[in-house]
Structure 1
Amino acid sequence: MPDFGYFLSCEEHSPAELVDQARMAEQAGFDSLWISDHYHPWNDRQGQSPFVWTVIGALSQAVSLPVETAVTCPLVRTHPAVIAQAAATSAAQLGGGRFRLGVGTGEALNEHILGTPWPEASVRLEMLEEALQIIRQLFTGEQTSHHGKHYTVENARLYTLPDEPVPIDVSAFGPQAAEVAARIGDGLITMMPDPALVERFRRGGGASKPVYGGLKVCWGTDRQEALRTAHHLWANEQLPGELPQILPTPRHFEQASELVAEDQVADSVPCGDDPDAHIEALSAFVDAGFDTVYVNQIGKDQQGFFDFYRTKVLPRLRD
């Protein structure tokens, strides 16, 4: 049976709210935490986007749960040498191997803000591989210089380090990315319960590596109201293909999301207070071979969600 974690959404909540949710997640029996790493929310209705590394520092003092970024892009907005320092410090703060660095190739929404070009997906995968080489070398604590195709590092050394190098999990949504994740990552992150993608990762070199997945739900006693909330805040989750990687602003996501109907959200987001609906959605990840499944509650009623999962969902999943 896999573990079950809670996914903290920096796009919807303030730093104080995220810390409160982490405490509630621990009390409800969740095993670990994911936290998103964004510069912008996907749309203005979500309304937040705190600096993830500051929030992780607060989490280290508030809970004893493991924490992972889901996911950080170490390519354009932030140089991989800086991400290496942030991850090493977070791991040292949390201690006991309680921090993992989740990475991916990012979105223009967050990464184009400095006016740099936004490369196509194949180039970003190439950049990610070089970035992880730099990060892992810095995790050794040795002085590092690197003159590569995409990045330059000169005489850099990390002095604050955890006892063991930080594990790095790689996000993938397609077959090529899954093969890269198997080759360069310590684990796989993906948001769909796709057994074929998991199998491709396993065959590509990830046979003994963990697979992590996540989904959104909207608990509420009125299913139709919960569905409206999910559609209002997170219709962008249903945008197809590469569109979420290339749209540059929250306003563009709002415009594109006008094409998403409520029934599209209903087909993919468990809404309401029927435990069977939530358990079925989580069990799809279990059946696909995931090691940990993270769930995020859409909207403001976090306490009701945690009470529901503590009493009606997590006990049945674990039985």
Structure 2
Amino acid sequence: MDRPAISVAGLRKSFGDKVVLDGIDLTVAAGTIFSLLGPNGAGKTTIVRILSTLITPDAGEVFVAGHDLAGQPGAVRAAIGVTGQFSAVDNLLTGEENLLLMADLHHLGRGGGRRRVAELLERFDLTDAARKRAAIYSGGMRRRLDLAMTLVGNPSLIFLDEPTTGLDPRSRRTMWQVIRGLVADGVTIFLTTQYLDEADELADRIAVLDRGRIVAAGTPEELKRRVPGGHIRLRFPGMPELESAARVLPTASRDDESLSLQVPGEGNVRSLRAVLDRLDQAAVQVEELSIHTPDLDDVFFAATGHATEEKAPR
């Protein structure tokens, strides 16, 4: 587990005159979830296609699952699984037949293949629908089947390219549980997504890609701490209380219409206690308070200069 699952240095890729990846450096620790964020056209899918050996880079040193991407592409393919944006499920086959086909491709043998398929059907809660054509599966069932097909060969590293796009909230959370279960079993997940709550919920580390470059990287909490804008909002029962509070907290932004103050700060317990202690000492009554801390939307905007283009379903 000490060896990185992915190590990338100086990765570059162009299509004609268009530079898509412009010197990417990143490391993904084994047995973790790494999330790559970025707007449409940032180069996320290109990175996944390169790391999964589907296309070749123009420059850079890349190791995937301990294998040199340039010199050992076959070993890389044997160690990884890929679940793309678009399902690889064959609608004319049943769920079980789709999995058996993958077992045949992995040369598991008749008995071994059937045992692996039965195990995956149970794990992904597809046993009851196993002999139904995939064409009638719901979106969530199709994504689970797609991921199960990826797991037939027991990969140590899985690329999930926007795996929950188009799913309803319940199906998204089911997929999150599946992903966490895979990591608990020692699998490494490389996740690309435009849903920032998904990255915040799942990822151990995050990198933000914009215009072919990594513009921010770290744990979700590290990234959020780098962004200013945290504050405490206090609302008061009347104008006298607001006037008194404004004298006690001179750095706060005042809104007379809503009888509120916005006090800059990190929004943690220590800063909140300090503000309330000062108001208590001045005998100022507070009617309501709320805390805002920067989230990944703020990180994304600070790093790329624009907001995300998609929101997760609620």
Q: What's the TM-score, normalizing by structure 1?
A: 0.32
Largest Rg, 1 or 2: 2
Q: Which has the higher strand share?
A: 2
TM score, norm. by length of structure 2? 0.32
Q: Higher helix share goes to which structure? A: 1
